[in-house]
Structure 1
Amino acid sequence: MAGHTGTAMLPLHGGRCPPWLFDRMKRLGAVIVEAMVEEWGPDEVLRRLADPFWFQSLGSVLGYDWHSSGVTTVVCGALKEGLQGRMGELGLFVCGGKGATSRRTPDEIAAHVERHGLLLDPATLVRASRMAAKVDSAVIQDGHQIYHHAFFFTPSGRWCVVQQGMNERTRWARRYHWLSEAVRSFVEEPHAAILGMRQASIPLNMAARESDAARKASVQLAGKDLAWWRRELDRIGRTRELRLPAGHAIERTPQLERALSALYRAEPADYEALVGAAGVGPRTVRALAMVAEIVYGARPSYRDPVRYAFAHGGKDGIPFPVDRELYDRTVAVWKRAVARARLGRRETLEALRRLGEMDRLAPFEAGARRAGPSAGTERGTVG
């Protein structure tokens, strides 16, 4: 359930971090981590790094642009370089990075485990790193392609991920923070505290609770051979009354057919195994989801997971100034509901629970109307 602790959206800034600043960021970042390990231990550092607001504050303390997408790559790079030679002593290991460096994460994890004699199975950590990246790039298709992936872990086997995706069309980035302590499933509601701007385009969210039927149907579809897929995709292509959001066409490509054939041979037992299979990416996930809707009537979720900033607003006016009257009213309603529940009168709390379930089941379009005509089109930052 609550493994995904939050997101932040950041504008793309050009240029590079000047060497004089980066050198100081490495030194100060290392000192801060050392002080935290001394005070609370390395697992607490993971918890802080997994908090998007704390991470943004760290970037500010280190002197980097407070609202640039570059804060993600530069802060992670400064910590990785600043802690070189001391990771074993501190019990905090940093792997991965930007671009090609992110693809070396599995090798770096294995090297740390072997070099420091850690009583950990590197395959377990590598799987966590890989699944976190796959969920944010394929299971949740929100228009942001992952290009930075940093993996932090401790000798206890706990880990966190700080990764970032870029939307090439809007030139805005989303940063995704993961924390292992609360992860129950990689493929169902891994989000705990989602913050940021909702976008205008409708995402495919196969990690939503309401996508459960679509996930199960996708696993069933993985048992179909390539001949069946060719017939079905051709049939869908001829369907004139297909009611799907714009941009969700299923294109037959050699890569897609190879992935579907591989899934047929692999016979995945569940959706997590399906997503984790080699060759399964956004196109395969989308094809399975769309065909599951047509064949089984199992509609996937199109709810953008980045939506909670619209509850009361933000202190910096993004996406709108804090509505203090609404905020106070929300607090009063919940305090009264909890007080009554303690006295055995749970009707108010149950009503709020049902309202929450109705909101989760509501389509994206209804949420956009509630948020106002500009929802999803404004630009801003969190932090």
Structure 2
Amino acid sequence: MRNIADLPLHGGHVPAWLARRMRRLTRLVLLLAVEEYGTKGLLERLSDPVWFQAFNNVIGMDWDSSGSTTVTAGMIKDALWREELGIKAAGGKGKKSRRTPDELRRIAELYELDPEAYIRTSRLVAKVDTVALQTGYQLYHHVFFLDEDGNWAVIQQGMNETERMARRFHWFDAETFTINPHKAISGLRRDFALNTVSKESREYQKTLVDTVQDGPGRIERELESLKAIAKGYRPLVYYKPRDVDEVSIIRRYESLGRLELNRRALEFARELSVSNYEEFLLLKGLGPSTLRALSLVLELVYDVHPSWKDPVTHPPDPFKFTYAVGGKDRVPFPVEGQAYDELISFLEELVFRHPEERALVRNVTRITRNWRFPEGEKRAT
């Protein structure tokens, strides 16, 4: 049995009759979660891929699709703006993600926080998962959650169109953005990934920052020599002999995309006297191809290596929660509107009319804790 959600790319949409119910149930679950755990506790749970996936399953989304991220995060964002729970969300899928800075300013004004600190954090988080960590997934979804005390979480997702798969990145109140910064990463582990934010990459980060201070000229020459080697040529003047298969290493980098330097970005690095890797990642014009080219030069010329370990986590898939109301794609069974309405009605009674009875929910949780679903009903959607 596979014990993770693969998150294959799915098209389609949520039918209106189901979306209406999802919004109501999302609101109720968030009200209960904040009442039970506070806003920081909710952020911690949103940054847990297992809890987030369980939330998705409870409201009736597909248990193993890329839409489990975009739809569920959108439902949560909408509910948080409709309710005053002391926590809001910014961003979203595609074009909505580009509204994140303006929406963060609005949230920061509401909670009397400094917006620029969170806008910078949003940019850094996106840069890390686009540039500093390269696994073949292009980001297309970014949601930033911020509470009134300044605690934050980010859920973003990338897609690999060739493999038709998605990967979800979870962040929570990161103290550093350049050394093992993620709370978790949900997806399938790859054989290798260009990982420049692992704890094994400290020397790499320092050497890179030092190297770009010399300007782009020498780096460009070194890169052209390495490209020539990949084509079968051997420069007259070359580096000291080592037991290294240069062509295989170059091919590994090329499998992640082009090797092209943005000269202006490197000139910015020198002009601004960039002093650390975090500042370097925020440079205007720094993209994945430039970092790949720099990393290749560092590895084969300076013998300084990034990590090639994929940091993805393998969360257990909370498939049992699909039995709450069923799944949009009829796994493990079709969503039945009347049963969904009865669940909503029960929770509304609990939240708004009889809050003293909430201990009942904890008792039900204890009853179902050891329940196991029939394995034959778990199938790809």
The TM tier, using the shorter chain, reads 0.7 to 0.9
TM-score by length of 1: 0.73
Equivalent residue in structure 1 for 2:145, among 152, 175, 182? 152
TM-score by length of 2: 0.73
Shift of 1:293: 1.6
Shift of 1:261: 2.1
Equivalent residue in structure 1 for 2:101, among 92, 99, 106? 106
| Equivalent position of 1:166 in the other structure | 159
| Equivalent position of 2:42 in the other structure | 45
Residues 170 and 183, structure 2, Cα contact 8 Å, conserved in 1: no
| Equivalent position of 2:178 in the other structure | 187
| Equivalent position of 2:215 in the other structure | 225
Say if 2:50 is the partner of 1:77.
no
Residues 61 and 68, structure 2, Cα contact 8 Å, conserved in 1: yes
Deviation by residue 1:324-362 (Cα, 9 ceiling, x = unmatched):
xxxxxxxxxxxxxxxxxxxxxxxxxxxxxxxxxxxxxxx
What residue identity is the alignment partner of 1:184?
E
Q: Which has the larger radius of gyration?
A: 2
What residue identity is the alignment partner of 2:280?
L
Equivalent residue in structure 1 for 2:65, among 57, 63, 68? 68
Equivalent residue in structure 2 for 1:279, among 285, 305, 328? 285
Deviation by residue 1:58-107 (Cα, 9 ceiling, x = unmatched):
11111111111101000111112223342xx2101111000010011011
**CA distance 1:381–1:83, shift in 2 (3 Å):** farther
Distance 2:81 2:182 in 1: 31
What residue identity is the alignment partner of 2:150?
G
Shift of 1:245: 5.2
What residue identity is the alignment partner of 2:70?
T
What residue identity is the alignment partner of 1:146?
L
| Equivalent position of 2:253 in the other structure | 248
| Equivalent position of 1:236 in the other structure | 226
Aligned pairs (5 A) from 1:311-326 = none
Shift of 1:234: 2.1
Distance 1:69 1:103 in 2: 20
Structure 1 segments unaligned to the other structure (5+ residues): 1-6, 317-379
Shift of 1:23: 1.8
Distance 1:8 1:304 in 2: 17
| Equivalent position of 1:95 in the other structure | 90
Residues 50 and 317, structure 2, Cα contact 8 Å, conserved in 1: no
| Equivalent position of 1:124 in the other structure | 117
Distance 2:226 2:60 in 1: 54
Say if 2:204 is the partner of 1:199.
no
| Equivalent position of 1:213 in the other structure | 203
Distance 2:170 2:185 in 1: 10
Residues 161 and 178, structure 1, Cα contact 8 Å, conserved in 2: yes
Distance 1:107 1:8 in 2: 33
Deviation by residue 1:293-332 (Cα, 9 ceiling, x = unmatched):
23321011111112657xxx9899xxxxxxxxxxxxxxxx
Shift of 1:29: 0.7
Deviation by residue 1:106-136 (Cα, 9 ceiling, x = unmatched):
110001222x2x2311111111111111111
Distance 1:230 1:245 in 2: 15
What residue identity is the alignment partner of 1:273?
E
SS of residue matched to 1:12:
coil
| Equivalent position of 1:54 in the other structure | 51
Deviation by residue 1:216-253 (Cα, 9 ceiling, x = unmatched):
11101221223323322222223356251524149565
| Equivalent position of 2:264 in the other structure | 258
Say if 2:190 is the partner of 1:177.
no
Deviation by residue 1:32-66 (Cα, 9 ceiling, x = unmatched):
11122223221111011111011111111111111
Percent sequence identity over aligned pairs = 41
Residues 5 and 187, structure 2, Cα contact 8 Å, conserved in 1: yes
SS of residue matched to 1:14:
coil
Aligned residue pairs, count: 302
